[in-house]
Amino acid sequence: MKTISIPYYTSTLDLHVDEANLKAVVTAKMHEYKAGKTEVELVHEALEHPIASPRLRDLAKGKQKVVLVTSDHTRAVPSKITLPILLDEIRQGNPDADITILIATGLHRPTTEEEQRRMFGDAIVDHEKIAINNAFDPDQFVHMGVLPSGADFNVNKLAAECDLLVTEGFIEPHFFAGFSGGRKSILPGICSQETVNENHSYKAISSPYANTGVLEHNPIHEDMLAAAKMVNVQFIFNVALDGQKKIIAAWAGDLEKAHAEGVAFIRKWSQCPSITGDIVVTSNGGYPLDQNLYQSPKAVATAEACAGEDGVIIMCCSCADGMGGTHFEKLITMGTVDEIDGYLSKIPPKETIPEQWCPQIYARILKKHPVILVTTYLKPEEVRKANMIPASTPDEALEIAYQMKGRDASVVVIPDGVSVLAVKE
């Protein structure tokens, strides 16, 4: 019997699989990568040697209004380490710069002060100017033009009106944007709900290029990149993280070229051939990404790449913060997966409902694969309403899957489905 630890909320859950059934445990090589330097050293090194760009301190000279965009509570960006160094770098160039830290929420709820203190540290919360993007407040945004898809581009005024716009984030495979990081800090990070919704329309999500690891011809990525250029992102800082959410690499500099180098690293260290199993067990990487069901299609999409025909997917996701959005909850529980997909397919891009892309992706997967959801925070009836099968432990879920697929079913385990880029060969 093999015991495998599955990330779950702030800890792990144990999965026990008979070795005769276990076909593979799929992990990103990145979790084994050793940088040979401390996290702080990696941050300083990236800032000292920016890619295709002057140093941030040089860009800051003579710039009065500086906006530094960072991620919200749903992302594991190690801002407690990176933000103080970035702020110091800016002030090295201009000690009197008026700096605003702008939290990129996309369509998520506002980040609480408690969460800010956990993410940034008390000193930054107590002494720095912090603003939170609110996609639902039209007064926060200014219209800057039309994106390649035809979507209207409305971005936070603070970013549009500053003298220097800087973003920080981390890069990982993304289930419809190809990869996170770089341009994604702007769209969806600090855009209005109308812009985010249209970027995530049924038509865009349905594109065969809107997929994990794909940037070329990806309409979602193309709009995101155009948005970041239009608002004049002058400097980005992105990191790669291992399984313990520790920095193992960092890139700084030009919007496209620095991001491209980060993407090349992530692709090299996270990509692996998909291994097909009758049952695929995965997680959303634990906290903070498994706070709600809305975030969990990321890992389910990875499992989909490894699930055989009619294969069963087991998803471990705490959902400590519930379903994760009133629109998502309403859509994912509105009927059968065919009814959900049929309803969403009729919605024009400019009328896209917030959060509809996750029910759309779930519907696509659920048409082919039963999904067993391991959670101790959602009630079983809530899980069933979302067209999934409830379980309270990985072992309970595996037993349910065996009953569906047979006792000799092959099992593939992807402990962290967010960090793996599974590619069919």
Which is the catalytic residue, given 73, 108, 221, 259? 108
**174 is a catalytic site residue:** yes
Distance, in Å, from the CA atom of 332 to the CA atom of 327, rounded to the nearest integer, reads: 9
If DSSP states are collapsed to H, E and C, what string results for the chain? Answer: CEEEEEEECCEEEEEEECCCCEEEECCCHHHHCCCCCCHHHHHHHHHHCCECCCCHHHHHCCCCEEEEEEECCCCCCCHHHHHHHHHHHHHHHCCCCEEEEEEECCCCCCCCHHHHHHHHCHHHHHHCEEEECCCCCHHHEEEEEECCCCCEEEEEHHHHCCCEEEEEEECCEECCCEECCHHHHCCCCCECHHHHHHHCCHHHHHCCCCCCCCCCCCHHHHHHHHHHHHCCCCEEEEEEECCCCCEEEEEEECHHHHHHHHHHHHHHHHEEECCCEEEEEEECCCCCCCCCHHHCHHHHHHHHHHEEEEEEEEEECCCCCCCCCHHHHHHHCCCCHHHHHHHHHCCCHHHCCCCCHHHHHHHHHHCCCCEEEECCCCCHHHHHHCCCEEECCHHHHHHHHHHHHCCCCCEEEECCCCCCEEECC
Which one of the listed residues 73, 174, 259, 327 is annotated catalytic? 174
369 tagged catalytic: no
Q: Which of 173, 147, 278, 317 is nearest to 225 (CA)?
A: 147
Catalytic residues: 108, 174
